[in-house]
Structure 1
Amino acid sequence: MKLVITCEHGGNQIPLEYQPYFMDTSVLNTHKGYDLGALDVFKCLKPIADYSNFSTISRLLIELNRSINNKNLFSEFTKPLLVEQKQTLIDNYYNTYRQAVTDYIALQLKHNISVLHLSIHSFTPVLNLEVRQCDIGILYDSRLEQEKHYATKLKRNIIALNPDYRVRYNYPYLGKADGFTTALRQQFKKNYTGIEIEINQSYSINDIMPKKLKQVLKHSIIKLKT
């Protein structure tokens, strides 16, 4: 089995040519601009991956974790762009990132090597006045036994190392909702397992997650391969 680890919302960068469209840059530093602390977790996990990839382009430029036809592919800042400009964003950022990951997975599956793909994200602790009662979310497709197996094992490993963490399945989002793992799951029907790991942003201080949390995740994931 090959372990693939990705981070689609690792940063809030806006390339120079698109900065004029972002007059209010304060939003880039919020959860709307990127997943706070996610890149820090990704960097901790990267050494245990057989393949990894990440993006530091803001999701407000183009949303790498949504399908090409999703109405939220472009944000309020980039929806007014011309069709040609949008296609350039798709070609230069969206397709470039997703195709690299897809190509690696396809190559492994071609050689009958199974792939476990963990996509690292974080979520805002409060949304629409609702306090999210969760520390770590494990998002997967509950209809698939293989994904259920790894999701269950991951939660069990985390709790064994730190029983104080509130770990929930398919929270605060559903694993079968539109996302990169969902798209890959639909493309690769066999030997691909895609799980999103969502971490509460309340743990993030200056974009850094606690060492203890990162180590718990790292060792829990290592045990998935045994």
Structure 2
Amino acid sequence: MSPEPFSLLISCEHGGNQVPGEYRQLFAGHQALLQTHRGYDIGILPLARRLAEGLGAPLAAAEVTRLLVDLNRSRHSPTLFSFITKPLAETEREKLLERYYHPYRRRVERLAGELAGAGGCLHLSIHSFTPELHGRLRNADLGLLYDPRRPLEREFCLAWQQQLAELAGGWRVRRNYPYRGASDALVTHLRRNLPPDRYLGIELEVNQRIPVLDGPLWEQLQEGLLHTLVGVLEVRKRRVS
């Protein structure tokens, strides 16, 4: 029997920069910081919603600031808590985990597990990156992150990169850039628990200079991502049918 086509799951771990009321005092004097990449992934939540709606996929999206607790980091990561929340007492940090970290991660784990069990899960975790880091320009518009040791993830990213390259606009698409796909992330955690032939964990990284402009170029890129993602999924569907 041929394998079932993979079902899509979209997640957005750094979708917003909201600060819950009881923690607002902690962030006094940090309002400007909340508006930067350190507070959230700029422009990404609307893209995640658009892809989920366009493809009829479940969406898990967090809107609390990553400066409260980083939902995309492992439990023992040194960057799980920011310089604002790391000084809190251990009981307060545990409260943050119980209220925001664990519920979000469990929801994504449940959705991914259900889809993987039903045939296969293509998990697209959406993020953005700063155009410049430590004085060096990032020379990409999009990054597709995957684990090179998982052939289906590599195959998917190669196919998506090719379709994106064929679009008008001349998008610069790089694989495992500006970060390594096997680095600490939610998809990395899920790979440990789900088989490689049933779970693909792909991180889409968008250069923030494009959504910050919020003009025709951003609209063009969003439409292109949706169009090409549909194309790659259709190709796979035909191959396994």
Same fold at TM > 0.5 = yes
Is the contact made by 2:142 and 2:171 (CA closer than 8 Å) also made in structure 1?
yes
Aligned residues: 225
User: Which residue in the other structure is 1:135 paired with?
Assistant: 141
Matches within 5 A, 1:32-43: 32-43=38-49
Query: 1:71 & 1:49 partners in 2: Cα distance?
Result: 36
One-letter amino acid matched to 1:117:
H
Matches within 5 A, 1:1-226: 1-23=6-28, 24-47=30-53, 48-111=55-118, 113-162=119-168, 164-190=170-196, 191-205=198-212, 210-226=218-234
One-letter amino acid matched to 1:18:
Y
One-letter amino acid matched to 1:185:
R
CA RMSD in angstroms, aligned pairs only? 1.4
Deviations for 1:7-30, whole angstroms, at most 9, x for unmatched residues?
A: 111110110101111122210000
Deviations for 1:178-197, whole angstroms, at most 9, x for unmatched residues?
A: 00111111111231001000
Q: Following TM superposition, by how much is the alpha carbon of 1:109 offset from its aligned partner in structure 2, in angstroms?
A: 2.5
Deviations for 1:97-131, whole angstroms, at most 9, x for unmatched residues?
A: 110111111122333x1000001110000111010
SS of 1:58 mapped into structure 2: coil
SS of 2:212 mapped into structure 1: coil
SS of 2:97 mapped into structure 1: helix
Is the contact made by 2:49 and 2:59 (CA closer than 8 Å) also made in structure 1?
no
Is the contact made by 1:4 and 1:49 (CA closer than 8 Å) also made in structure 2?
no
Is the contact made by 2:43 and 2:208 (CA closer than 8 Å) also made in structure 1?
yes
Query: 1:50 & 1:132 partners in 2: Cα distance?
Result: 30
TM-score (norm 2): 0.90
One-letter amino acid matched to 2:102:
N
Query: 2:213 & 2:143 partners in 1: Cα distance?
Result: 21
Q: Which has the larger radius of gyration?
A: 2
User: Which residue in the other structure is 2:239 paired with?
Assistant: none
One-letter amino acid matched to 1:54:
A
Against the structure 1 CA distance between its residues 218 and 15, is the aligned structure 2 distance closer, same or farther, given a 3 Å change threshold? Answer: same
Query: 1:118 & 1:104 partners in 2: Cα distance?
Result: 12
Unaligned runs of 5+ in 2: 1-5, 235-241
Query: 1:99 & 1:134 partners in 2: Cα distance?
Result: 32
Q: Following TM superposition, by how much is the alpha carbon of 1:206 offset from its aligned partner in structure 2, in angstroms?
A: 6.9
One-letter amino acid matched to 1:7:
C
Query: 1:98 & 1:57 partners in 2: Cα distance?
Result: 14
